Structure 1
């Protein structure tokens, strides 16, 4: 995964919670360097008090935007204008848009048209068009409750995972697309294929920290670890389990 991209982090203070800031910036570090960190809102409003307390600690620049007209979101407009200015500066390689507001759908699409990456962060209530417009979309709920190896309370069971037809179909199609003639596929390309098809795919949405853990829990795939070269590192390969009927027919032949 590339982690040296210069990124602009633009936060809609009206549609994000300050409680996620630590986990948010930690997550963003997986995708690149937060070269620009700005947060937009009407800082005269008492509703943004929680954000004020964390901005200095994380060196996030507050951008003042007065609500000139009641019912009109001037914050969104200010974010979009700044984003376009930053885009045309040619100094960045990607944007992180932190909001659950669908008003940023066109902005995300426009940035991607220019060849830059867009990482979206918002709650699960975020409208589907904005989610789909991003290269990658992370639900902030998983940032508040990161999976713990000793806590399985948030994890979906194997039965529940198997009943999730969308998940199962995505995994099987990805394995098929990335597999060799024997049906084995390396886990990395499988994950990349799924992410290319669904920007909001994330094992943490199901309560699992990593894709390998999720695949194991689904219990529909064989898993095999293979050494890489002469080193100690290993690559994980998976393939769809053969059904009993297929095994029986193979045994007869």
Structure 2
């Protein structure tokens, strides 16, 4: 067993298992959630939340913002079968935008970064 496989198994211990059903996304509506699912049902967006939150908690930054590319790589290390198409999205960025627990920022033409939504102080 390779070190990468062993590390991924250790990181994913205790997380819900996500079944991957690879299916091409519809080409007419880029990034929108797919409703056509004749063969296998899509996983709900909420099933991806624990995985994304675990990655964000592992990536410590001063301001909490993490590059989406880094998140994607860590998701694949954590759950090698992770694919946003399992949840009905072509891209990870669309999946992250759909789940409401994260903030997304992107400078014009720049990389996308995400962080957990900050709790408001009362």
TM-score (norm. length: structure 2): 0.67
Cα distance change, pair 221–239 in 1 and its aligned pair in 2 (3 A): same
Cα distance change, pair 178–205 in 1 and its aligned pair in 2 (3 A): same
For 2:34, what is the secondary structure of its paired residue? coil
Q: Which runs of 5+ in 2 are unaligned?
A: 5-19
For 1:222, what is the secondary structure of its paired residue? strand
Rounded to whole Å, the distance in 2 between the matches of 1:202 and 1:169 is 14
Question: Is residue 241 of structure 1 aligned with residue 117 of structure 2?
Answer: yes
Pairwise CA distance, 1:220: 1.1
- Which residue in 2 is equivalent to 1:216? 97
- Which residue in 2 is equivalent to 1:161? 45
- Which residue in 2 is equivalent to 1:6? none
Q: Which runs of 5+ in 1 are unaligned?
A: 1-108, 116-138, 228-232
For 1:182, what is the secondary structure of its paired residue? coil
Q: Pairwise CA RMSD of aligned residues?
A: 2.7
Matches within 5 A, 1:126-165: 141-142=21-22, 145-148=23-26, 149-150=28-29, 152-154=34-36, 160-162=44-46, 164=47
For 1:183, what is the secondary structure of its paired residue? coil
Rounded to whole Å, the distance in 1 between the matches of 2:106 and 2:60 is 15
Rounded to whole Å, the distance in 2 between the matches of 1:223 and 1:187 is 9
C-alpha offsets along residues 72-99 of structure 1, whole Å, 9 cap, x if unaligned? xxxxxxxxxxxxxxxxxxxxxxxxxxxx
Question: Is residue 189 of structure 1 aligned with residue 73 of structure 2?
Answer: no
C-alpha offsets along residues 96-151 of structure 1, whole Å, 9 cap, x if unaligned? xxxxxxxxxxxxx5xx58x9xxxxxxxxxxxxxxxxxxxxxxx5x52xx3112537
Rounded to whole Å, the distance in 2 between the matches of 1:221 and 1:186 is 13
Structure 1 runs of 4+ with >6 Å offset: none
The count of aligned residue pairs is 99
